[in-house]
Amino acid sequence: MQTQAAPPPERCKNRADQNFRCDQRSILDHGQFEFSPDRFGGITDHIGGTPVVELKRLFRNNGAQVFAKLEALNPGGSAKDRPARAMIEDAIASGEVTGETTVVESSSGNMGIGLAQICRYYGLPFVCVVDANAQIQNLRIMEALGATIDLVETAEREDPLSARLDRVRALVDSDPRIFWPNQYSNLSNPRSHLEGTVRELDEALQGELDYLFVATSSTGTALGCQEYLRSKGRSTEVVAVDAEGSVLFGGSAGRRRIPGLGAGVISPLARKARFDRVVRVSELDCVVGCRSAAHYEALLIGGSGGGVVEAIRSCGEMLDGSTVGAIFHDSGQRYLETVFSDGWVESNLGLSASEMRSRVMAFASRDTIL
């Protein structure tokens, strides 16, 4: 495995020192850190409280009321803001993270952005280990927030996540000052969704939720949702939406080009995860779901959200008369060069622009307002 790092931000030392330390001291060194917000709060105090919208047009005739939680409206643009904040603030509170700490994590995009934001807020150096599937705009957002990008190149048959994790472990072993939040096993990950995402949705719907569709990768969101609903005695069926080519839930490994959905390695959190139902979606399903949400609901959602849309559609009559929840993890604005690019779809998935439009027009009935 060979690695190649993108140029670090100017404020950081050259990667050749292998420490990724930044010259600027952390605000933790100056005793400025506190958890309690003031009247208006800083940016971290506004993570959560995202809106719930009803999808009245996409699923107008399937007999279900479908409500979506729009996690893209978190300050960092995704559901990953919640666990990013929880993991760092918990580590600060426990003393694992101090002013001498560098934070290192593996990410396909959204967690990297969430951590870059939190680490910048608390003045902590952050290194994000990514692979070639990471979208360039996500890397630029992280860099704008002061992160250093460590790009791991992989062989054709090598799993990108395995390569990223190997790189993170090597960095952790090289310097005791490095803190790895490890989203794949950190219980602060599902807890952030238990205390936030699903609680907010449950309260908005006054506990009336028959099905909840959640895209899975580390499985933190789905696990937190399931634990909360069980603790409240809800009969809600949690449906895990996974990608074709993902090894989760007994799946077979395959190529996956849309980040944030599925996994090539079964994480510690996912190892014991058992959900009421698993629905697998293809990359083309994700694209059609995203395009359909934009067409019918004027809603730009990310690739995993498109998979959730298609999973709900595929369940059809099973949902008749039910109240259905869906969590959309991020925005389609981060997928403009892939999911929303006709050229990318045709060259990678073999579907022309006209064929795509036909799929989208067939998604909902013709009496839907267009």
CB of 320 closer than 8 Å to CB of 62 = yes
- Please report where in the chains the tokens 């994590």 appear, as a residue: 105
Is residue 335 domain-shared with residue 246, that is, in the same domain? yes
User: What was the pLDDT predicted at 27?
Assistant: 58
pTM flag (> 0.85)? yes
- Report pLDDT digits (tens) over 268-299: 999 988 999 999 999 999 999 999 999 999 99
Where does 187-338 have alpha helices with state H? 188-192, 198-204, 220-231, 268-271, 283-297, 303-315
- Report pLDDT digits (tens) over 336-364: 999 999 999 999 999 999 999 999 998 87
Residue 11 lies in a domain: no
Residue 1 lies in a domain: no
Question: Residues 56, 322, 80, 284: is their CA dihedral positive or negative?
Answer: negative
Residue 140 lies in a domain: yes
Is residue 105 domain-shared with residue 221, that is, in the same domain? no
As for how many domains the chain has, the answer is 2
User: What was the pLDDT predicted at 20?
Assistant: 45
Nearest to 54 by CA among 210, 204, 222: 204
Across the chain, what does the average pLDDT equal?
89
Nearest to 188 by CA among 156, 220, 143: 220
User: What was the pLDDT predicted at 308?
Assistant: 98
As a whole number of angstroms, the distance between CA 229 and CA 190 comes to 13
Nearest to 216 by CA among 186, 184, 194: 184
Segments forming the whole domain that contains residue 251: 47-74+192-352
User: What was the pLDDT predicted at 38?
Assistant: 61
User: What was the pLDDT predicted at 363?
Assistant: 84
Strand partners, 214: 240
User: What was the pLDDT predicted at 322?
Assistant: 97
As a whole number of angstroms, the distance between CA 109 and CA 261 comes to 11
Under 8 Å CB-to-CB from 331, ≥6 apart: which residues?
72, 77, 78, 300, 301, 302
- Report pLDDT digits (tens) over 89-138: 999 999 999 999 999 999 989 999 999 999 999 999 999 999 988 888 99
Residue 131 has φ and ψ, to the nearest 5°, of -120, -175
Is residue 92 domain-shared with residue 60, that is, in the same domain? no
Is residue 213 domain-shared with residue 347, that is, in the same domain? yes
| Domain final position from 156, 179, 202 | 179
As a whole number of angstroms, the distance between CA 126 and CA 171 comes to 12
Under 8 Å CB-to-CB from 134, ≥6 apart: which residues?
107, 108, 109, 112, 151, 259
Nearest to 303 by CA among 316, 295, 291: 291
Is residue 213 domain-shared with residue 346, that is, in the same domain? yes
What percentage of the chain has pLDDT greater than the value 90? 76
Q: CATH no. for residue 250?
A: 3.40.50.1100
What torsion, rounded to 10 degrees, do the Cα atoms 220, 141, 160, 312 define? 50
- Report pLDDT digits (tens) over 135-166: 889 999 999 999 999 999 887 778 888 999 99
Is residue 338 domain-shared with residue 276, that is, in the same domain? yes
- pLDDT band at residue 61 using 50, 70 and 90 as cut-offs: confident
Residue 69 lies in a domain: yes
User: What was the pLDDT predicted at 30?
Assistant: 52
Pairwise pLDDT comparison (255 vs 213), residue with the higher score: 213
- Report pLDDT digits (tens) over 254-273: 988 888 899 988 999 999 88
Residue 368 lies in a domain: no
First-to-final CA distance of the chain:
50
**Both tokens assigned to 244:** 């074709």
As a whole number of angstroms, the distance between CA 150 and CA 94 comes to 27
Mean pLDDT computed over 4-29: 42
The strands making up 148-153's β-sheet, listed across from edge to edge, are: 2-5, 148-153, 126-131, 102-106, 178-179
Nearest to 221 by CA among 106, 308, 329: 329
User: What was the pLDDT predicted at 12?
Assistant: 33
Residue 13 lies in a domain: no
